[in-house]
Amino acid sequence: MKLDHKVCIVTGAASGIGREIANTFAREGGKVVIADLNLEAARVAAQEIESSGGTAMAVAMDVTNEDQVNTAVAAVVAAYGGVDVLVSNAGVQIVHPVEEFPFADWKKMLSIHLDGAFLTTKACLPHMQSAGKGGSIIYMGSVHSKEASALKSAYVTAKHGLIGLCKTVAKEGGKHRIRANVICPGFVRTPLVDKQIPEQAKALGISEDEVVRKVMLGETVDGEFTTVQDVAEVALLFAGFGSNALTGQSLVVSHGWFMQ
C-alpha cells in the first residue's frame, strides 16, 4: 500500500477527478477526507469508500472561505491526528470572451482556483511541519497551466498561477520534506466538461460534436479524452513519492496535447 495510514485531504472530491483520486488513495490505504462545497455529495462519496472497506470522512468546505477551510482542517486533525497529503482540486469553469467577461465571474474564478489553493495550503502546512514527517501538496492544474484557449481567460490565468504557487511552496517546503507539484490534465469527461460543450458550441458557432473533436481533442495524439483514472494515477505518484527529488514540478497528462 503506497499511502498506508496517510491522511489525505482532497478538495472538490465529491465529484469527477477529485472523487476518483479519493477512491484511489483509499484503496492504497490512505485515510481520505472528502472536502467539498456539496456536503451531501461528499458524505455519499465517503460512505462509498467506507462500504468498500476504506477509511474516509466528509467535511464541508468552501475553499474560498478562510474560516471554513481552517475549521475543516482542524476537524480533520482532531479526527485523524494530522495531515500528510493535500490535493487542492476544487474548481469550476466559466467561459466568455475577455470583453464580455463579467468582473464578478473573473473574481469568482480566481478565488476558487487561487485563493482556494493558497488557503488550503496555508491551513495544512503548520500541521505537516510540526509532525516532522514531510508531506505532499498537489495542485490540480490543467494543460491550461501551460497553454491558452479562447474564452478561458480567467481559467488560464488561474491555472498558470498555480505553477507559481507550487514552485514557491516547494522551495519553502524543502527543509521540512514537504513537496509540491502540479498535475496538468487534458480534457476529462466530468460534469465540469459536460457543461462546457454546449456553452462553447454556442460561443464559437460550431456543433457540439465539433467542440469535442476539434476544440477539446484536436491536438491530442489519438483523439481520446484523458480519464479520471489517468489523473488519479499521477496523483498517487506525487502523493506517495519517497523523497524531495520530485518537487516543484508540473506534469501534463493529456494524450499528447501540449508537449513540453
Q: Give me the catalytic one of 25, 139, 155, 225.
A: 155
CA angle centred on 226, ends 220 and 227, rounded to 5°: 165
Site for ligand NAD in 102-131 (CB under 6 A): 112
Q: What is the H or E stretch that residue 87 is in?
A: strand 85-88
Joined together, the cell numbers standing for residue 77 give: 486533525
Rank residues 17 and 211 by Cβ distance to ligand NAD and give the closer one. Answer: 17
Rank residues 125 and 156 by Cβ distance to ligand NAD and give the closer one. Answer: 156
Q: Give the largest CA-CA distance in the chain.
A: 55
Rank residues 176 and 229 by Cβ distance to ligand NAD and give the closer one. Answer: 229
Pairing outcome for strands 135-140 and 7-11: unpaired
Q: How far is the CB of 54 from ligand NAD (least distance, A)?
A: 19
Which among 21, 104, 97, 88 is positioned nearest to 56, based on CA atoms? 21
Between helix 153-173 and helix 103-110 the angle, nearest 10°, is 30
Between helix 228-240 and helix 16-27 the angle, nearest 10°, is 50
Tell whether residue 161 is a contact of ligand NAD (CB under 6 A): no
Instruction: Select from 12-20, 23-31, 125-133, 199-207 the region that touches ligand NAD (CB under 6 A).
Output: 12-20
Instruction: Select from 22-30, 118-126, 188-196, 199-207 the region that touches ligand NAD (CB under 6 A).
Output: 188-196
Q: Which of 10, 14, 49, 124 binds ligand NAD (CB under 6 A)?
A: 14
Which among 165, 169, 187, 167 is positioned nearest to 178, based on CA atoms? 169
Tell whether residue 53 is a contact of ligand NAD (CB under 6 A): no
- Measured between alpha carbons, how far is 10 from 155 in angstroms, rounded to an integer? 20
Q: What is the H or E stretch that residue 195 is in?
A: helix 191-204
Tell whether residue 12 is a contact of ligand NAD (CB under 6 A): yes
Tell whether residue 91 is a contact of ligand NAD (CB under 6 A): yes
Rank residues 38 and 244 by Cβ distance to ligand NAD and give the closer one. Answer: 38
Contact by Cβ (8 Å): 139, 158: no
Between helix 116-131 and helix 153-173 the angle, nearest 10°, is 20
Q: Which of 162, 170, 188, 197 binds ligand NAD (CB under 6 A)?
A: 188
Rank residues 193 and 206 by Cβ distance to ligand NAD and give the closer one. Answer: 193
Beta bridge partners, 179, equal: 136
Rank residues 37 and 128 by Cβ distance to ligand NAD and give the closer one. Answer: 37
Tell whether residue 38 is a contact of ligand NAD (CB under 6 A): yes
How many residues of this chain interact with ligand NAD, rule: CB under 6 A? 28
* Catalytic residue flag (residue 139): no
* Residues identified as active-site: 155
Q: Given the rule CB under 6 A, which residues bind ligand NAD?
A: 11-12, 14-18, 36-38, 61-64, 89-92, 112, 140, 142, 185, 187-188, 190-193
